[in-house]
A and B are shown apart, each in its own frame.
Chain A
Amino acid sequence: MERETISVTVNGRAYERAVEPRRLLSDFLREDLRLTGTHVGCEHGVCGSCTVMMDGVTARSCLTFAVMADGAEIETIEGLGSVEAMHPVQQAFWEKHGLQCGFCTPGMLMTAVELLKANPDPSVDDIRDAISGNLCRCTGYQTIVESIQYAAKLMREDGP
């Protein structure tokens, strides 16, 4: 199949790659760039595990073709924060036990980051609404809700 060359910035690093038009963004990230933190749980856009940030808004990388990301800035879990310097959302999920098996976690974190950018002080209902497109089979969501509330607090305290 004919390949198209795309230029894409992922976690601040510029890449130029030739991809088949049918290449999914999730496969491009996982296979071509070996950024395996982005997970694929259902490959039909329901579970949200593959959620990444594309030009500042969340996107389901399993429903996005890599060629659609030509010229875009992508952020994935690998760019969010490191073990030494965690993003407040990562810190909060750790402290509040917002993960068990860890498979849905990357997508959940990206969705939480988007929510807190738009709404620095979300209510429980706001959070449940915002993450209702991200499935988690382990936690029953309560500790995730608590993690995001706590992350909001950390981010407010940290200030701009």
Chain B
Amino acid sequence: MAHVGAAHTRLEDDRFLTGRGRFVDDIRLPGEAYAAFVRSPHARARIGAIATDRARAMPGVLAVLTGDDWRRDGGGETDVLWDVNSHDGTPMNIARRPIFASGEARHVGDTVALVVAEDPHTAADAAAAVEVAWEPLPSITELAASVEPDAPLVHEEFGSNVAYDWRLGDAEATEAAFAAAAHVTALSLNNNRLAPSAMEPRAAIGAYDRGSERYTLWSTTQNPHLVRQWLSRDTLRAPEHAIRVVAPDVGGGFGQKTYHYPEEASLPWAARLVGRPVRWTATRAETLAVDIHARDHVTEARMAFDEDGRIAAVEANIIANLGAYQSQFAACIPTLFCVTMFSGQYAIPALHCRVLGVYTNTTPIDAYRGAGNPEITYVIERLIENGAREMAADSVEARSRNLVPAAAMPYASATGVTYDVGDFPAVLGKTRALADLEALRAEQARLREDGMLMGIGMAAFIRSGGAGPSRLAAALGSRMGLWDVATVRVHPSGKITVLCGSHNHGQSHATTYAQIVADRFGCDMADIEIVEGDTDRIPHGLGTWASRSITVVGSALAVASDRIIDKGRRLAAHLMECAVEDIDFGSGAYSVRGTDRRMTFVEIADMAYRGADYPDGFELGLEEAAFFDPDDFNYPYGTHVATVTVDAETGAVKLTGYYSVEDMGLVINPLVVDGQRHGAAAQGIGQALLEDVRYEPDSGQLLTGSFMDYTIPRADDMPNFALDSHVTLTETNPLGVKGVGELGTAGPPAAIGNAILDALWHLGVRHMEMPFTAERVWRAIRAASA
């Protein structure tokens, strides 16, 4: 095992470091034209006549296309991929995201028409010249108000903005536990609305070849094969074999580039109509208005404790925003991918949660890195923190007392989910040591004497990673499998190409997958090519999201590699005239046990393609595909500590330290994994301190339409991270890995929130809304001291 576990520098870096990456906007096709979209300036408005004459008459304009054109031509709308029923079995109300809005525009940025022109300036000018007879209607963008009886309806046909009323847990047992509790802590919590904001804006190019009657779409997607399937089945409605989707280098995804966006369907369609490739790259303002948003919950929650400080029950009522339409996975994010972790790392005998998924006149919401886990972690960890403080107990001790002990694994939580392995107390102990909590407390006391406000906060969390077990997902409402596939192709020279269904947009697959394969074959990593992102090169796959790639695709390529080695063993036995059982494989060669006879894998590969000498029944060639579908999710977890200082005069919060101990199972490459951990924590820190998508309540206008208003963290907002880890191996996949990409997003909102409260508790501050901006903190201090 020379490669797995090593901090190998990345194989994919050369092109990015020298400016030779190939992102969608870097690709140029002969004869291409440019698209611009007409988007709704209103949160809600009836779409009257669309006057296109003036735009069509502009020199250089090739086409002006509307939703009527699209629908007349047989175009469809995106479909949802997860059914979530209400508690009484009623199917959810589904409003599918259209390619072009029909009848009514339902959020600022909703797409209405498409202009194709010779150059981007003309396209933009012509889009501005399309005259839509808008009839503005009352809109609803405020989440809590959306369920009030007099709220404007986003979809009048449903008679309500509620898409579903979903519940999990035992309401009766929970109620009884609260009635008998020694102490009850209650909180009203918001989980702020986020815009994932990869640095590369979305972009796409559509093309159509009349000769082969095939479409090609280059798109900034995390899952080209799924986009091909959705184009074929739902929107473009062309045969799947007549569509090629290419996702070249993609500049960050974080979930936002998972879904089927309108432009992915309308651009190839427009390309067929105008007979030229049609390209489009989003402006940042378009990205912020059109691409999915995330989180956005309001929650009433309470936690019951017995007289020993043990959690007796926990309960939450969540209103979760779905936006104007249901993005494809939207329904399952605030429900199954959120509430199934409601027990956190704790042994909680009774729990109950209700989730109202609601429509509002806002951009559709869907999974963004973390996808439900930061939301539920924030609820649990704020409750246990405030509960301990109210009972005058140490909040770290309160956590320690309630952790599921290692000996209780596998542990069936009251949500119905079973954690397979883990050692929560060990990780808490390591976190305590890494942060040196005693020293931090002493520093806090010293600073307090000098009139300085310092706070220390903790959050413990667990998530389901490695989606997934397809049959389980189907039983829970999924309309698609969650397996994946890898094809390992050994060339006659012995060099190896691996075709993978995942997609690398920063996750380092070209390196980590090669580490796995190199160890299997005993070859150099340089002899392995990892191919992703092109449906014409790769047979199938489901893409990269839900912390699944190394679990599902990593396992698939390991299984396929092992099949090839076994096949080679049969040829080696034949050629070296011995029994298959007497052949050993190691260090890149087959050898006959107890002799000095050996043949290298390269020699066997050559013979497998030469066909000169092989045993009867042996199929020539060396290529294997393996589909892998795990038996269960895996359960990575961790504990974070944040330290802050608060300026009492301005309310400004400075994040001074961040400590993280996580259990991700086997680590293939610590350099890469540490990078993922930093990045996940950074996005959680952004949620806690800076990021907040805001709409103006009356007009429904998006107020955070640029990076001047939607503020993602900068280098000087960030502390240095201190990391440690703990390893327990899962048996749900052959590698023993757990999904790491999203894990660390869960900790910062609660850890930082708890740290700020720790700094201000003695002043009487008990709560504030997220993000914890200087204004909010200043107001909380003022209110507490008034």
A→B interface (CB under 8 Å): 22, 30, 34-44, 46-47, 49, 76-78, 80-83, 86, 90, 93-95, 97, 99-106, 109, 124, 127-129, 131-145
Closest CB-CB distance, A11 to chain B, in whole Å? 10
Question: Taking the nearest CB of chain B, how far is it from the CB of A144, in angstroms?
Answer: 7
Complex CA distance for A133 and B712, rounded to whole angstroms: 11
27 A-B pairs in the complex with CB atoms less than 8 angstroms apart: A38-B19, A41-B199, A41-B200, A44-B284, A47-B199, A78-B20, A80-B19, A94-B17, A97-B9, A97-B10, A97-B672, A99-B16, A101-B251, A101-B506, A102-B12, A102-B249, A109-B17, A127-B715, A128-B715, A132-B714, A136-B199, A137-B198, A138-B199, A139-B678, A140-B685, A141-B678, A141-B715
Q: Nearest A residue to B22 by beta-carbon distance?
A: A36
Pick from B18, B683, B712, B720: contact of A135, CB below 8 A: B712
**Mask for B174-188, Cβ within 8 A of A = 1, else 0?**
000000000000000
Say yes or no for B706: interface residue by CB 8 A criterion: yes
Cβ-neighbour of B199 out of A93, A97, A137 (below 8 A): A137
The answer to whether A37 and B716 touch across the interface, beta carbons within 8 angstroms, is no
Report whether A78 and B18 are in contact in the complex, using a CB–CB cutoff of 8 Å.
Answer: yes
How many angstroms from the CA of A97 to the CA of B683 in the assembled complex?
A: 18
The interface residues of chain B lying within 8 Å CB-to-CB of A103 are 21, 23, 198-200, 251-252
CA distance A145 to B707 in the complex (A): 22
B681: Cβ under 8 A from any A Cβ = yes
Q: CB distance B284 to A42 under 8 Å? A: yes
**Contact between B682 and A139, CB atoms less than 8 A apart:** yes
Provide the residues of chain A in CB contact with B507, threshold 8 Å.
100
B residues in contact with A78, CB < 8 Å: 18-20
Task: Check if B13 sits within 8 Å of A101, measured CB to CB.
Answer: no
B276 within 8 A of partner (CB): no
With a cutoff of 8 Å between Cβ atoms, the chain A residues found around residue B198 in the complex are 101, 103, 137
The interface residues of chain A lying within 8 Å CB-to-CB of B681 are: 140
- CB A60 to nearest CB in B, in angstroms, measures 12
Contact call B199/A100, Cβ cutoff below 8 A? no
Contact A139–B712 (Cβ < 8 Å)? no
A158–B714 CA distance with the chains assembled, in angstroms: 31
Given the complex of chains A and B, what is the CA–CA distance between A151 and B356 in angstroms?
Answer: 52
Is the CB–CB distance between A139 and B21 below 8 Å?
no
Residues of A within 8 A of B201 (CB): 40-42
Among A35, A37, A95, A144, chain B packs the most CB atoms within 10 A around the CB of A37
CB of B343, distance to nearest CB on chain A (Å): 29
Known contacts A100-B675, A101-B506, A103-B23; decide if A80 and B707 are in contact (CB<8 Å).
no
- Measured between C-beta atoms, what is the minimum distance from B242 to chain A in Å? 30
Q: Which of A43, A102, A106, A140 contacts B679 (CB 8 A)?
A: A140
Closest Cβ of chain A: how far from B200's Cβ, in Å? 4
| Complex contacts, B329 vs chain A, CB 8 Å | none
Q: Which residue of A lies closest to B707 (CB)?
A: A46
Q: Tell me if B157 counts as interface (CB < 8 A to partner A).
A: no
Which residue in A95, A102, A109, A132 is a CB contact (below 8 Å) of B9?
Answer: A95
**Given the complex of chains A and B, what is the CA–CA distance between A135 and B252 in angstroms?**
12
* Structural contact, A142 and B199, CB atoms closer than 8 A: no
Q: How many CB-defined contacts (below 8 Å) exist between A and B? A: 173
Given A83-B14, A124-B720: A44 touches B707 (CB 8 Å cut-off): yes
Complex CA gap A102/B19 in Å reads 9
Which A residue sits closest to B719, measured CB to CB?
A142
CB neighbours (8 Å) of B12 from chain A are 102
> Residue on B with the closest CB to A107?
B199
- Determine the chain B residues whose CB is within 8 A of the CB of A42 once the complex forms: 201, 284, 706-707
Name the interface residues of B246-302: CB closer than 8 Å to any CB of A. 249-252, 254, 283-284
For residue B671, CB closer than 8 A to chain A, the reply is yes
| Cα distance A135–B200 in the bound complex, in angstroms | 11
Q: Does B26 contact A (CB under 8 A)?
A: yes
- Beyond the given A30-B26, A42-B201, A143-B675, could you list 10 further A-B residue pairs with CB under 8 A, ordered by the A residue number? A37-B19, A37-B20, A47-B284, A99-B13, A100-B508, A103-B251, A128-B715, A137-B252, A139-B675, A141-B682
Complex CA distance for A99 and B19, rounded to whole angstroms: 13
Cβ B18 vs Cβ A37 within 8 A: yes
A41 to B508, CA, bound (A): 21
- A residues near B210, Cβ cutoff 8 Å: none
- CB-CB contacts of B693-717 with A at 8 A, as 1s and 0s? 0000000000000111000111110
Known interface pairs A37-B21, A142-B720; A101-B284 also in contact (CB < 8 Å)? no
The A interface is mostly helix, strand or loop, or mixed, namely loop
Selected from B28, B197, B716, the residue in CB contact (under 8 A) with A132 is B716
Question: In the complex, are the beta carbons of A83 and B18 less than 8 A apart?
Answer: yes
Nearest-neighbor residue (CB-CB) of B27 within chain A: A36
In this assembly, does B666 line the interface, its C-beta being within 8 Å of a C-beta of chain A? no
The listed residue (B17, B505, B713) touching A101 by CB distance below 8 A is B505
Residue of B nearest to A77 (CB): B19
The answer to whether B707 touches A97 (Cβ under 8 A) is no
* B121 in contact (CB, < 8 A): yes
Return the contact of A142 from the options B250, B252, B671, B721 (Cβ within 8 A): B721
Chain B residues with Cβ below 8 Å from A109 are: 17
Q: In the bound complex, how far is the Cα of B9 from the Cα of A94, in angstroms?
A: 7
Shortest beta-carbon distance from B20 to chain A in Å: 7
- Which of B9, B679, B713 is most buried by chain A, counting CB atoms within 10 A of its CB? B679
- Residues of A within 8 Å of B721, CB to CB, are 140, 142
Give the distance to chain B from A72, nearest Cβ to Cβ, in Å.
Answer: 19
- Output the least CB separation between B199 and chain A (Å): 4
A43: contacting residue among B13, B14, B284, CB under 8 A: B284
Tell me whether B712 and A138 are in contact (CB under 8 A).
no
Contact of B23 among A39, A93, A132 (CB under 8 A): A39
Q: CA of A137 to CA of B710 in the docked complex: distance in angstroms? A: 13
Once A22-B121, A137-B683, A141-B682 are accepted as A-B contacts, the answer to whether A90 and B249 lie under 8 Å apart by CB is no
A86 to B283 Cα, complex, angstroms: 32
Cα distance, A144 to B720, chains bound together (Å) = 11
Inside 8 A of A86's CB, which chain B residues have their CB? Answer: 17-18
Q: A39-B23, A43-B283, A46-B707 are in contact. Are A142 and B718 (CB under 8 A)?
A: yes
Residues in A with CB closer than 8 Å to B13 are 93-94, 99, 102
0 or 1 for each of B352-364: is its CB under 8 Å from A? (1 = yes):
0000000000000
Q: What residues of A have a CB within 8 angstroms of the CB of B505 in the complex? A: 101
Evaluate whether A99 and B17 lie within 8 angstroms (CB atoms) in the complex, with A41-B199, A46-B706 already known.
yes
CB pair B682–A93 under 8 Å, yes or no, is no
Residue of B nearest to A129 (CB): B716
Minimum C-beta distance from A46 to chain B (A): 4
Partner of A128 from the list B23, B706, B718 (CB cut-off 8 Å) is B718
- CB closest chain-B residue, reference A79: B19
C-alpha spacing A71/B718, complex, angstroms: 39
**Chain A residue at smallest Cβ distance from B20:** A37
Report A-chain residues with C-beta under 8 Å of the C-beta of B708: 44, 46
A83-B21 Cα distance, complex, nearest whole Å:
13
User: Of residues A36, A41, A86, A140, which shows the largest number of chain B Cβ atoms within 10 Å of its Cβ?
Assistant: A140
CB-CB under 8 A from B716, the residues of chain A are 128-129, 132
A35 to B121, CA, bound (A): 20
Nearest residue (CB) in A for B19 is: A37
Q: Do residues B17 and A90 form an inter-chain contact, with CB atoms below 8 A? A: yes
Count chain B CB atoms within 10 A of each CB in A35, A78, A104, A141 and give the residue with the most: A141
Chain B hits for A129, CB < 8 A: 715-716
Known contacts A44-B706, A103-B252; is A139 also within 8 Å of B20 by CB? no
Distance (whole angstroms) from the CB of B748 to the closest CB of chain A: 11
CA distance A118 to B28 in the complex (A): 38
Q: Give Cα A45–Cα B245 distance, bound, in whole angstroms.
A: 32
